Amino acid sequence: MNRVLTRLPLAAAICVGSAGASFAQEYCAGIGSSGQWIGGTEAFSDLTTSPDYAEQMALVMGNNEYIALFSLSETTDTRIEAEGRGSGDPMIEIYDSAGYLVATDDDSGGGVSSRSELTLDSGTYCVALRSYDSAPMTAFVRVGRQEHEPLTAGYVPGNDTGSGGCFGPLPNDELVDELPSTATIGDINAYRFTLTESKALTLTATNPAADPYITLYDGNGNYIDENDDWDDLNSRIEITYPLDAGDYCVEVDALSDASQPITVMLETLTEEEAMRAMYDRGEAAPPLDGSYPVTDLGQLANRQRVDLQNGTIVSWYSVDIPEAGAIVVEAVSLNGMGDPYLILFDDFGREVAYNDDTNDLDPVLAARVSAGTYTLGVGEYNDGTSPVRMILERFVPAK
């Protein structure tokens, strides 16, 4: 597999995750502000007109990330890949120009390589490369059209050397909506199902003695999501956006006792459940009508302190701002074991600001605000809970 970078000088082709930006433009709603054009320049990063794929080698340190930028001058069938050197385990996220997550992938390139094949509209896109286990990693990122030479082997159903799974030689059993199936992974370790119409859904795998782990793929082998230990040692995947009609496969593994039966169930996720899941994860601001728990902090005079037990389900607060100015919010993990983040929405539900890891793993959020009611979410990236102290401060313009 050719990995020679022919169009870029070495200094441009080797990039360090979270290195300083080569420009100050806010690509992908700020996600790509520290990114690098994968073709070396913006002009050479238009994949619609590029004669060949574009590729860079990135060094990702710990929890940092590398951002590659590319553009499309018209709707194009693309292939986006990442392959680590040595024991590196890359995962990728693709964002559009508005900062919305278009796709994410971990292992669809075969082994631990990442691969996503998408038809994308014209615009600018950002590819975020991370290390799955947060270990330092060197990886290649390649973006091209589907007729270009691939970087990764990709999944080939039936060629897996394992005993089954979505891409193994054994057939998958069919999973029927709202009808549980129970078996050991020695008997069934993957289930296929078909959606006749687009809908949101949940997939659960239960039996703490087995410690189940589940991974969801579409019919083309593209990774969608995975989960371990949602509820105690049981697993749950929630897809809160409507999945397209088509074929899917869920792979099941037992991280503890493989002889234990695991119950797998597919259920339709109602609109109300889907919205609540978005509030739980901080993806949208909850309503202030009492239907979802939000703590009212009242009017912010100048400084207010809040102590909380922070967890992966976001804690929400409302705060009233009496006049235009600025707000600064800081969250500190009191035991040093947490990794909190902050997100602020206005009274219309628009995201105003987000922050994570300003002071080591502690966030500091700062934003201009107008008079009105704002909703502040505090979440945790690590599993479990940790004590957090939050400080809110309000500043007004000098007169």
**More confidently predicted of 191 and 163:** 191
Mean pLDDT for the chain overall? 84
Whole-angstrom Cα distance, residue 301 to residue 207?
Answer: 50
Please tell me the predicted confidence (pLDDT) of residue 169. Answer: 58
Cα distances (angstroms) measured from residue 333 to each of 124, 139, 298, 330: 36, 32, 24, 10
Whole-angstrom Cα distance, residue 386 to residue 105?
Answer: 29
Please tell me the predicted confidence (pLDDT) of residue 78. Answer: 94
Highest averaged pLDDT of the listed ranges 56-60, 222-226, 268-272, 386-390: 386-390
Domains in the chain, ordered, with CATH?
10-145 (2.60.120.380), 173-269 (2.60.120.380), 285-395 (2.60.120.380)
Which helix or strand (DSSP H or E) is residue 254 part of?
A: strand 246-254
CB-CB contact of 342 with 377 (8 Å): yes
Please tell me the predicted confidence (pLDDT) of residue 324. Answer: 94
Q: Across residues 11-28, what is the average pLDDT?
A: 47
Buried/exposed 184-222: b ≥16 CB within 10 Å, e otherwise: bbeebbbbbbebeeebbbbbbbbbeebbbbbbbbeeebb
Q: Across residues 97-121, what is the average pLDDT?
A: 84
Please tell me the predicted confidence (pLDDT) of residue 285. Answer: 94
Q: Which two tokens stand for residue 2?
A: 């050719």
Confidence of residue 168 (pLDDT cuts 50, 70, 90): low
pLDDT in tens, 271-321: 888 888 889 989 899 999 999 999 999 999 889 999 999 988 999 999 999
Please tell me the predicted confidence (pLDDT) of residue 23. Answer: 41
Please tell me the predicted confidence (pLDDT) of residue 364. Answer: 95
Whole-angstrom Cα distance, residue 270 to residue 155?
Answer: 32
- Which residue in this structure is represented by tokens 């394992």? 162
CB-CB contact of 344 with 374 (8 Å): yes
**More confidently predicted of 107 and 347:** 347
Please tell me the predicted confidence (pLDDT) of residue 171. Answer: 57
Closest to 124 (Cα-Cα) out of 17, 5, 33, 57:
33
> Across 27-107, where does the E strand assignment appear?
36-37, 54-60, 66-72, 76-84, 90-95, 101-105
Q: Which two tokens stand for residue 376?
A: 């502040």
Q: Across residues 50-67, what is the average pLDDT?
A: 86
Q: Across residues 357-372, what is the average pLDDT?
A: 92
Do strands 14-16 and 54-60 pair parallel, antiparallel, or not at all (unpaired)?
parallel
List, as one string, the DSSP characters of 167-191: TSSSPPEE--BT--EEE-TTT--EE
Please tell me the predicted confidence (pLDDT) of residue 62. Answer: 65
Whole-angstrom Cα distance, residue 366 to residue 348?
Answer: 19
Please tell me the predicted confidence (pLDDT) of residue 9. Answer: 28
Q: Which two tokens stand for residue 308?
A: 């909380």
